[in-house]
Amino acid sequence: MNEEKKVAVLKGGPSLERQVSLRSGAHAQEALVRLGHEVLALDVGPELVPELRAQQPDAAFIALHGRDGEDGTVQALLEAIGIPYTGSGPAACARCTDKALAKYLMREAGVPTLDFHFLREPSVRQLGAAHAVADIEGRLGFPLVVKPASQGSALGVKFARASDQLPSAMVGAFSYDDKILIERYAKGRDLAVSVLDGPATDSTRSPPGRTGARRAAPFALPVVEAVPREEDFYDYESRYEIGMTTFVCPAELEADTAARAQELAMEVYTLLGCHGVARVDLMLEAGGDDLWVLEINVVPGLTETSLLPQAADAAGIGFDELTARVLASAWTR
């Protein structure tokens, strides 16, 4: 049924999420081979562009997480050399990867997101930003979470209970990015909603390397809940550690809460201009029914235990089918 394509799977690279990316890539490769495609596995490095030019794949399947792969760098390069690629374009990548930018855009559009402030390291040195920290503390209150603006792994995510902890928390986060955000801490349930473009029409008939297939409306997959194995208020980092979390899919939620989470995810997906697939992380705050959008991942993990494949599975979309749909997004731009 599917026309055989030559697909370059881009994975690995020097990002801090290299290991996860290698697993995502390997998993996608297996599915692509089963789907009958010719797979070219590329651990991205200085040879990436020459290799792609030499091999001329019909599409690039992006399984890169973190820097370069998720921030639009690789996407822009692929556009420069005319190779169709999966997922969002450079602009949406930039909007989502920069968590501060994403949150500003959401705030402007009235999408609920936890109150925050944005800070750049040079402004500490050059503009006296340190003198604004007390105002930020006053406005947000403690405890606070400090995050590098663009860093997908647990590294650099810091928790500050009081004023005297904030400077080192900020410097920790600045180690990964000169942009950080300081966010109100909310306790609650971690939810994730993946959004997927509908099945593309005509994708198989469009000649390789050319767009033209029609993009179908996106839809939200069932909500997944990430449940930390050991709840530890102070141990913010372990919530992101591999193996410290179990996943429940579909999440056990009131029907209307689940529906609201899905609507919010769809709204954000459209707002930020995502394409093909994205995962929206939300929080259902304890002691109420407030839903907050935390962040958006334009290259969701595709490992055996990642959230997107689990959510797709719960919607009756197996991993091969999911991979096929993500691949199809290369030709529906």
Partner 1 sequence: MDRSSSGAGEGRGARPTAHELARYEALFASRTRSMKSSAMREMMALTERPDVISLAGGLPDTTTFEPELYAKLMSHVAAESTARALQYGPTDGMTATVDCIVEVMAAEGTLIDPSEVIVTTGGQQVIDLVCKALIDPGDVIVAEAPTYPGAVPTFGAYQAEVAQIEMDSDGMPIEELEIVLDRLQARGRRPKFIYTIPNFQNPGGVTMSLARRRELLVLEDNPYGLLRYEGEPLPTLYSLDAEVLGSGGGADLVIYLGTFSKILSPGLRLGWAVAPRPVLEKLNLGKQGADLCSSPVTQLFVAAYFNERDPGGGRRWRAYLEQLKVLYSRRRDVMLEALADHFADDARWTKPQGGLFIWATLDERIDTTDLLALARESQGVAFVPGRAAYVDGRSGSSSMRLNFAGVPEEDIREGMRRIGKVVREQLSLIGTLSGSVPSSRNLARGAAEREPGTPPGGEAAQVDRGVAGGGLRAGSPGAGQDAGPGGDDSGLADVVALPRRASEGSARRRRDR
Q: Which residues are catalytic?
A: 17, 153, 240, 279, 281, 295, 297, 301
CB of 12 to partner 1, least distance (A): 7
Query: Could you tell me the smallest distance in angstroms from the CB atom of residue 305 to partner 1?
Result: 6
Closer residue to partner 1 in complex, CB, 153/332: 153
* Residues contributing to the site for partner 1 (CB under 8 A): 8-9, 12, 14, 16-20, 26-27, 29-30, 32-34, 38-48, 51, 55, 121, 124-125, 130-131, 133-134, 153-156, 158-160, 162, 164-176, 232, 234-235, 237, 240-244, 304-305, 319
- Of the two residues 241 and 263, which places its CB atom closer to partner 1 in the complex? 241
Q: Which of 279, 224, 290 is nearest to 257 (CA)?
A: 290
Nearer to partner 1, 144 or 195 (CB): 144
Sign for the CA dihedral angle at 58, 61, 62, 64 comes to negative
Select 19 or 257, whichever has its Cβ closest to partner 1. 19
In the complex, the smallest distance separating the C-beta of residue 35 from partner 1, rounded to whole angstroms, is: 10
162, 127 in Cβ contact below 8 A?
Answer: no
CB nearer to partner 1: give 167 or 212: 167
Sequence-ordered alpha helix ranges (H) in the chain:
18-34, 48-55, 73-80, 90-97, 99-109, 121-126, 133-140, 166-174, 255-271, 307-314, 319-328
Helix 99-109 × helix 255-271 angle, to 10°? 110
d(CA 239, CA 232): 9
**Residue 25 C-beta: closest distance to partner 1, Å:** 9
The number of residues making up the chain comes to 333
We find the least distance from the C-beta atom of residue 30 to partner 1, in angstroms, to be 5
Q: What is the DSSP letter of 60?
A: E
How many Å from the N-terminal Cα to the C-terminal Cα in the chain? 22
- Residues 166-185: b if buried by 16+ CB within 10 A, e if exposed: beebbebbbebbebbbbbbb
Nearest one of 84, 86, 99, 72 to 24, comparing CA atoms:
86
**C-beta of 289: minimal distance to partner 1 in Å?**
30
Helix (H, G, I), strand (E, B) or coil at 122: helix
- At 35, give phi and psi (nearest 5°): -80, 0
- Which helix (H) or strand (E) segment holds residue 181: the answer is strand 179-184
